[in-house]
Chains A and B, each alone.
Chain A
Amino acid sequence: MSSKSNLLSYVYILIGAILVCGYANGLGPAMVSPFGIDKDLADVVIALAVVALGLLFAGLGAELPFVVITGTIGVFVVLTLQQTEIVRYMTLSAVLFCIGMYGMVVSRNAIRVLMSIELMLNAVNINFVAFSRYIDPTLLRGQVFAIFILAVAAAEAAVGLAIVLAIYRNMSTVDMEKFNLLKW
């Protein structure tokens, strides 16, 4: 970790914070109007700008974790700030679901894959509870479904970890790339 990459990361965080706070302060239309863009699209354009700046700084050599986390939070705030509450909760759920899906696909450790699946199930739970709060506040059917998902997640965790243990006994590894028993 060199001082140059540290400096680049902090500069990116600063620029992202200025963009997001400016947008939150109601300067979004003023930021995009010089480029001839409709002010209704201000949030999408600023979110894309945050992503593009992140790619630029990552290419210049900034620390990748800083850039990824700052970019995700910046995009999340810009996209949800002017929306209603239910859209905010659902966007957070979508962000967590996509993080979980990415981790499920790329992880090599089988237990990390199971953790990613737990993340995805939790994201779905947020969606259900948000629906039960805003769409169906008297019967609370969303919360009942969230409880069913809790039960399914417990079953999934127990069986999944038992499978991982059984495979570890046979192959002495939990690396997903080496599980090729079913390949032909």
Chain B
Amino acid sequence: MEVGYFSFLQNWAANNVEAPVFYMLAFLAIPLAYGVLFDPRIIRCGFLLIGVFGTISGIFLLLQAQFLAMAQLMIYAVGITLVVVIALMLTNPRMEQDVNLTVPEQKLPALFAALALFITIYLAIRSELWQVKEATPLPPELNLVAIGTNMLGYYALPFEFASVLLLIALIGAIMLAKTEHLTRSEEWIENDESYSDRKEENVVKV
């Protein structure tokens, strides 16, 4: 049978469209992820990060997770990246290039650890024994119903804990980032005579 050198592309496209789209998204995601690590202008890393999150959102769409794809776009690609970029502007006001991107003495151990981890994971997952269920995926509206039923049924407690965690993180972030008020109160404590008297009493007692 006469086959062209690129006939595998035709075979793929004829059988299913999922594999070519998946490889296109992967070819986008991997270089963008490298760009996040190694671009010397760190503001550009923030925008490359949006690209990585966007391609991962596309992968979620391929995996029939429409709600998660949109949530990914809203929370990661817009929300978290915006926070990161604002922090960049606050910590690097003149947008200078990073001169020393990496720690030289940690490069080789980190490369070894990353490669070893990848080989381990790949050898562990490379198996024919995954019990894949050949059910047709749920339509989008039932998908959302299934997620909602899970979150308010079997996973109601973790869902509540997630909301408490978000609240604590919000308050903690405000406490950590807002320092002016704290320093003023410390000055007030130092000027307060009754407080210093009490402190001396404590010292005498001890």
Contacts and interface: CB of A to CB of B under 8 A. Distances in A.
Interface of A: 21, 24-26, 65, 68-69, 72-73, 76-77, 79, 83-92, 94-103, 105-109, 111-112, 114-116, 118-119, 122, 125-126, 129-130, 132-141, 143-144, 146-148, 150-159, 161-166, 168-169, 174, 176-177
A138 B135 contact: yes
Nearest to B163: A151
Contacts, number: 267
A122 B179 contact: no
B63 A99 contact: no
B110 A105 contact: yes
Contact of A116 (B36, B64, B128): B36
B6 A21 contact: yes
Contacts of B8: 21, 24-26
If over half of B's interface residues share one DSSP class (helix, strand or loop), that class is named, otherwise mixed; here it is: helix
B169 A155 contact: yes
Contacts of A166: 176-177, 179
Interface residues of B, number: 97
Interface of B: 3, 5-8, 18-19, 22-23, 26-27, 29-31, 33-34, 36-38, 42, 45-46, 49, 52-53, 56, 59-60, 63-65, 67-68, 71-72, 75-76, 79-80, 83-84, 87-88, 90-92, 98, 100-103, 106-107, 109-111, 113-115, 117-118, 121-122, 125-128, 130-133, 135-138, 143, 146-147, 150-151, 155, 158-159, 162-163, 165-166, 168-170, 172-177, 179
Contacts of A144: 147, 150-151, 155
A133 B65 contact: yes
Given A105-B110, A105-B113, A114-B84, A86 B165 contact: no
Nearest to B118: A98
B45 to A, nearest CB: 6
Given A135-B131, A138-B135, A21 B176 contact: no
A119 B158 CA distance: 23
B125 A153 contact: no
Given A99-B114, A122-B56, A148-B155, 13 more contacts: A25-B3, A84-B132, A87-B125, A92-B59, A98-B114, A101-B117, A103-B36, A129-B65, A138-B138, A159-B169, A161-B84, A162-B174, A169-B179
